[in-house]
């Protein structure tokens, strides 16, 4: 949104293609009208939403890009059909997803991502009075717990796998980012009275048809707690599938960009989480730089470099603090499903030595999610590296795929700019 | 008054059972409110939404006869027919 607004304010034609039904991504996911809220984040979101609409950006929501048949043309589909999007400059802002780690019972309904449960509540799931455990790692846990708590959920426990020591170091380092410190203290106040422990993680989830209770490794001992929802997220992984498909080069698992957020492909820019997991503040700065640079305003873009540098240092601090502890790789039992799409168990995967061998022999990573869930999990469990991405980058209908083979008449939509 | 309240709500069916939800509710939530799992996995396990953002495909259902729709990414519309995948 920041990229689109800044570029459009420079006078170029801009469209935002968003897979969601409304703009704003996961953090600013628009809340339904029947539950209007006003918190600080919303105000910033509202400000950018205002700029996007004032600048005359065309929102194309509920549309997902599945392929780039040739440079400058993207193929996208929605519920009703498909279309071609043409661009001169493209800004990729594909965001991040949560990292999910398998443990016994994690496939039960109502065991969800932390951000996943929050997104469901934002989409109307009644949470008042429900018993929730939030577990995993990263600042998102507290943000989600505070959100759910505010909406009447009974947060039974927050499990953070990082150690008290690294949290303490993180807390000290926060003094360099006063705004973040204020945010952290606000979260602490919001969550007063909610049980929180470091060195803690989910060990197993139990239930017949749906979740009933969870075993937690809670600061050194195992506790069983009854709950309605278990929200688990182990920090974030960048969504690099689309950049990879287009041919952008990577650097340590993230999209490589220059000072102007331009990828190794000319005219293709990238901003936010795909270039490094850094949170909304960094994403907004990078987005603005990308938008300005794409619109040809290098000087204005350069003015934001200093702010970006500072935000990047914070990103580095986050990723260091919330790195995963090795014990988590021992959570799955032999029969625990690792690939949820194809139901491939831990014991079947353990026999293989690479992601490709596992795919060929077990179909792991070949279901509809295309390894988006089990890829990062097996990377952590077995140190496997997923290889190339192939089109379509998301499952697509045959009619859409047939379209780029030239067999169907396309409905063309002219768009300058991109996501 | 009743009409006003009603106008902020839509009715969808989940496996032919009507579910009334506020406007802006996702299909995944309607399925949860109907007490249903979204799909049955390859080995027969019930599954529900995981990521809530259109990545994991665990919440896929048939909407108005169209199979494999990610229910977390679609908002309920009046009269929508949702069927969980068997």
Instruction: Round the average pLDDT of chain A to a whole number and report it.
Output: 90
Enumerate the H helices of A174-323 as residue ranges. Answer: 178-190, 241-246, 279-294, 298-302, 305-321
- How confident is the model over A78-90, as a mean pLDDT? 90
Hey, are the CB atoms on A20 and B8 less than 8 Å from each other?
A: no
The first and second tokens of residue B27, run together, are 């299909």
pLDDT tens profile A243-283: 999 999 999 899 999 999 999 999 999 999 999 999 889 99
Assign A145 to helix, strand or coil. helix
What's residue B6's pLDDT? 57
- How confident is the model over A221-240, as a mean pLDDT? 96
Give the CATH number for residue B49.
3.10.20.440
Q: Provide long-range contacts, Cβ within 8 A and 24+ apart, for A313-318.
A: A313/A176, A314/A177, A314/A180, A314/A278, A314/A279, A314/A281, A314/A282, A315/A276, A315/A277, A315/A278, A315/A279, A315/A282, A317/A170, A317/A173, A318/A138, A318/A139, A318/A277, A318/A278, A318/A279
Residue A116 binned pLDDT confidence (cut-offs 50, 70, 90): very high
Hey, are the CB atoms on A113 and B52 less than 8 Å from each other?
A: yes
What's residue A395's pLDDT? 81
Q: Residue written as tokens 């987005």?
A: A287
Assign A103 to helix, strand or coil. coil
Hey, are the CB atoms on A32 and B22 less than 8 Å from each other?
A: yes
| Chain A residues touching chain B at CB-CB below 8 Å | 19-21, 26, 32-34, 62, 64, 79, 97-98, 100, 107-113, 115-120, 123-126, 209-210, 239, 337, 340-343, 367-369, 372-373, 395
Residue whose C-alpha is closest to residue A112's, from A203, A209, A205, A225: A205
Nearest CA in chain B to A371: B56
What's residue A386's pLDDT? 77
Cβ-based contacts of A19 with chain B (< 8 Å): 54, 73
Q: Is the pLDDT of residue A408 over 50?
A: no
Hey, are the CB atoms on A123 and B8 less than 8 Å from each other?
A: no
Nearest CA in chain A to B58: A341
Nearest CA in chain B to A369: B56
- How confident is the model over A310-324, as a mean pLDDT? 94
Hey, are the CB atoms on B42 and A342 less than 8 Å from each other?
A: yes
Percent of chain A whose pLDDT exceeds 70? 93
Q: Is the pLDDT of residue A409 over 90?
A: no
What's residue B86's pLDDT? 67
Hey, are the CB atoms on B52 and A79 less than 8 Å from each other?
A: no
Nearest CA in chain B to A95: B53
pTM, rounded to two decimals: 0.89
Q: Which domains does chain A have, with CATH numbers?
A: 2-95+240-298 (3.50.50.60), 100-234 (3.50.50.60), 337-382 (no CATH)
Q: Residue written as tokens 């970006």?
A: A308
Nearest CA in chain A to B75: A21
Number of domains in chain B: 1
Say which residue, A257 or A416, is predicted with more confidence: A257
| Residue A379 neighbours by CB distance under 10 Å | 17
Residue A396 binned pLDDT confidence (cut-offs 50, 70, 90): confident
**CA separation for the pair A319, A145 (Å, rounded):** 20
Hey, are the CB atoms on B43 and A340 less than 8 Å from each other?
A: no
Q: Structural domain of residue B45, as residue ranges?
A: 2-84
Q: Is the pLDDT of residue A85 over 60?
A: yes
Q: Is residue A84 within 8 Å of residue B19, measured between CB atoms?
A: no
The reply to whether ipTM tops 0.95 is: no
- How confident is the model over A40-49, as a mean pLDDT? 75
What's residue A33's pLDDT? 39
Give me the total of CB pairs closer than 8 Å, taking one residue from chain A and one from chain B: 126
Residue B47, φ and ψ in degrees, nearest 5: -135, 150
pLDDT tens profile A294-303: 999 999 999 9
Q: Is the pLDDT of residue A50 over 70?
A: yes
**Substitution target from B21, B24, B40 for chain A, most A beta carbons within 10 A:** B24
**CA separation for the pair A231, A153 (Å, rounded):** 12
Q: Residue written as tokens 């780029």?
A: A404
Q: Which of A19, A100, A343 sits opposite B50 (nearest CB)?
A: A100
Tell me the angle at which helices A279-294 and A305-321 cross, rounded to the nearest 10 degrees. 140
Q: Is the pLDDT of residue A37 over 60?
A: no
Cβ-based contacts of B55 with chain A (< 8 Å): 97, 239, 369, 372-373
pLDDT tens profile A167-193: 999 999 998 888 889 989 999 999 999
Peptide linkage before A392 cis (omega within 30 of 0): yes
Residue whose C-alpha is closest to residue A323's, from A399, A235, A253: A235
What's residue A11's pLDDT? 94
Residue whose C-alpha is closest to residue A13's, from A44, A57, A48: A57
Burial (CB count within 10 angstroms: exposed 0-12, middle 13-18, buried 19+), residue B60: buried
- How confident is the model over B1-28, as a mean pLDDT? 85
Q: Is the pLDDT of residue B15 over 60?
A: yes
Residue A181, φ and ψ in degrees, nearest 5: -65, -45
Q: Is the pLDDT of residue A129 over 70?
A: yes
| Residue A225 neighbours by CB distance under 10 Å | 16
Cβ-based contacts of B22 with chain A (< 8 Å): 32, 34, 124
Hey, are the CB atoms on A124 and B49 less than 8 Å from each other?
A: no
Hey, are the CB atoms on A115 and B53 less than 8 Å from each other?
A: yes
What's residue A1's pLDDT? 93
- How confident is the model over A288-317, as a mean pLDDT? 95
The DSSP H or E segment spanning B7 is helix B2-7
Q: Is B52 on the interface with A (CB under 8 A)?
A: yes
| Residue A411 neighbours by CB distance under 10 Å | 10
- How confident is the model over B31-47, as a mean pLDDT? 96
**CA separation for the pair A165, A167 (Å, rounded):** 5
Hey, are the CB atoms on A395 and B37 less than 8 Å from each other?
A: no
- How confident is the model over A380-398, as a mean pLDDT? 85
**CA separation for the pair A369, B58 (Å, rounded):** 8
Q: Is B46 on the interface with A (CB under 8 A)?
A: yes
pLDDT tens profile A132-155: 999 999 999 999 999 999 999 999
Q: Is the pLDDT of residue A32 over 70?
A: no
**CA separation for the pair A98, A79 (Å, rounded):** 25
């Amino acid at each position: 949104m920041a990229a689109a607004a800044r570029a459009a304010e420079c006078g170029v034609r801009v469209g935002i293609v968003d897979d969601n039904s409304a703009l704003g991504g996961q953090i600013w996911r628009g809340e339904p009208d029947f539950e209007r809220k006003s918190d600080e984040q919303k105000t910033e979101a509202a400000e950018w939403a205002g700029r996007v609409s004032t600048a005359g950006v065309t929102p194309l929501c509920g549309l997902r890009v599945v392929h780039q048949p040739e440079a400058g043309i993207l193929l996208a589909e929605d519920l009703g059909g498909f279309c071609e999007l043409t661009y001169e400059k493209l800004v990729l802002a594909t965001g991040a997803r949560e990292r999910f780690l398998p443990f016994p019972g994690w496939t039960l309904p109502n065991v969800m991502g932390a951000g996943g449960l929050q997104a469901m509540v934002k989409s109307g799931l009644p949470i008042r009075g429900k018993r929730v455990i939030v577990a995993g790692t990263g600042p998102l846990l507290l943000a989600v717990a505070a959100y759910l708590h505010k909406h009447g959920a009974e947060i039974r426990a927050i499990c953070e796998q990082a150690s008290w020591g690294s949290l303490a170091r993180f807390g000290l380092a926060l003094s360099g980012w006063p705004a973040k410190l204020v945010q952290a203290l606000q979260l602490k106040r919001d969550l007063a009275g909610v049980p929180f422990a470091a060195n803690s993680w989910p060990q197993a989830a139990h239930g017949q048809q749906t979740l009933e209770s969870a075993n937690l490794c809670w600061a050194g001992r195992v506790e069983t707690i009854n709950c309605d929802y278990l929200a688990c997220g182990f920090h974030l992984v960048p969504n690099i599938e689309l950049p990879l498909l287009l041919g952008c080069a990577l650097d340590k698992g993230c999209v490589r960009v220059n000072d102007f957020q331009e990828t190794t492909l000319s005219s293709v820019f990238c901003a936010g989480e795909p270039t490094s997991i850094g949170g909304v503040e960094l994403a907004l700065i990078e987005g603005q730089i990308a938008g300005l640079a794409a619109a040809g305003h290098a000087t204005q873009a350069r003015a934001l470099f200093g702010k970006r540098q500072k935000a990047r240092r914070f990103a580095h601090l986050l990723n260091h603090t919330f790195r995963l502890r090795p014990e988590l790789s021992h959570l799955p039992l032999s029969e625990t499903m690792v690939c949820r799409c194809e139901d491939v168990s831990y014991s079947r995967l353990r026999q293989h030595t690479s992601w490709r061998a596992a795919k060929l022999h077990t179909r792991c990573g070949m279901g509809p999610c295309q390894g988006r869930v089990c890829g990062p999990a097996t990377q952590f469990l077995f140190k496997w590296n997923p290889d190339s991405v192939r089109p379509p980058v998301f499952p697509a209908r045959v009619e859409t795929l047939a379209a780029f083979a030239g067999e169907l008449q396309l409905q063309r939509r002219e768009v300058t700019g991109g996501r | 008054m009743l009409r006003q309240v009603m106008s902020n709500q839509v009715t969808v069916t989940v496996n032919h059972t009507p579910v009334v939800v506020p406007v802006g509710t996702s299909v995944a939530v309607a399925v949860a409110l109907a007490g249903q799992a979204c799909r049955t996995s390859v080995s027969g396990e019930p599954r529900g939404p995981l990521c809530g953002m259109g990545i994991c495909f665990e919440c896929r259902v048939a909407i108005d006869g169209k199979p494999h729709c990610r229910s977390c990414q679609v908002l309920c519309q009046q009269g929508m027919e949702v069927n969980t995948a068997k």
